[in-house]
Structure 1
Amino acid sequence: MSSLLTATDLWKSFGDRDVLRGVSLDLSAHDVVAVIGASGSGKSTLLRCLGLLEPIDDGRILLAGSDISDPRVDANGVRARLGVVFQSYNLFPHLTVLGNVTLASRVVHREKRADAEARGLAILERVGLADKAREHPDRLSGGQQQRVAIARAIATDPELLLLDEITSALDPELVGEVLELVRTLAEEGTTILMATHEMGFARDVAHRVLFLDEGRVLEEGSPAEVFGSPREARTRAFLSRFRA
């Protein structure tokens, strides 16, 4: 199967601190890959670089065979092909839920309002929020806001969904509803790269797991391999905190 996204030897520094140190990864269409690691290991920076929200210092990123790390590339055009969801919901407070979900379709993809809203309502129905379409984000719970953010990300039918610690800002009782939506998207064949601290979810849903440690991919394999019989002592030490 040909690769949808290939990153080769990515380096990224902030000042004199190397945050990514030669990271490489490969995703095929319909892959679900979980990136795990301690806070500060480079997970969020990796996703931001792959989404062209941060420039890389060295390395190469290919999306469907095209070099999107070339400085001459149309970065906005590339971002329009991706769906990105962050820890914070980043919803526009002055727009309704439906307005948030349809914004990219109308503004970036120039879709007619009626068509965008019909599809937006169908997506809100999928995520269980059709009854909130005319509400503003501040009337929703954190879990509902994050589901709206995911609905917005998938509204343009992106080639790849980048999820950056999307449950870390949620109260524990709201985490399940967001993860259940991601599980459904994975089962439907959405290509997903997610940074997460939800080890049980990564074990159950991901096809492959990358353990990032101090800016390097220290271990990579199936969930059974990484969680069941990790090779590296550092991986075992990290996972032991969750098993405890």
Structure 2
Amino acid sequence: MDITGSVALVTGANRGLGRQFAQQLLERGASKVYATSRRPEAVDLPGVEVLQLDVTDAESIAAAAAAAGDVTLVVNNAGITTGANLVTGDLADIRREMDTHFYGTLGVVRAFAPVLARNGGGGIVNVLSALSWFSTNGAGAYAAGKAAAWNLTNGVRLELIGQGTQVTGVVLGAADTDMMAGYDGFKTDAADVVRTALDGVQAGDWEVLVDDWSRGVKASLAGDPRDFYRQMGVSV
């Protein structure tokens, strides 16, 4: 996937990783970047074309796909975190997480896959999380949504490979963004996350493990899960 000269669309581009994706795509030579948000007035990045896009609204997705018919690279970045656990959390919050991370991502992929096919194949980037592979108290719904999005990424990659669409999953631990403002652990600089992600896209990688945390969590999957949770300080 050659970023130079590409036409990119980034969801959730008003802040955090999404804003960094839009900015760095421009810096790497994208000819146009559609910066989308549920609230387009919140996008303040010079040089982008702003579109309204709510990934939980099918009509909004369809309108964006119709308006951005020249797209060759889609970055599925939009996300939320409600702090809901699965057994005791508000079911409405759990559904919001799944609607955003799984159905929202899938909706964007389904809408833009024909666009990408018409434009030569292009690429899709799905921003995932190391929480795709484990869970923690206060993030049960988020982890479940990201786990679903991770396997969604694997599935659509196989479905779209025949039309020449490169699908890249970007997995990270904590990034230094507004969403993670209340997290006290180590956080990777948002610009570094996006730089590593786009390097992987440019190289044709199927999956980009951004940091030591995501690499360590994935490596732990080969072992007894109790060992991992013991290291996390969970009494098992």
TM superposition score normalised by structure 1: 0.38
Question: More helix per residue: 1 or 2?
Answer: 2
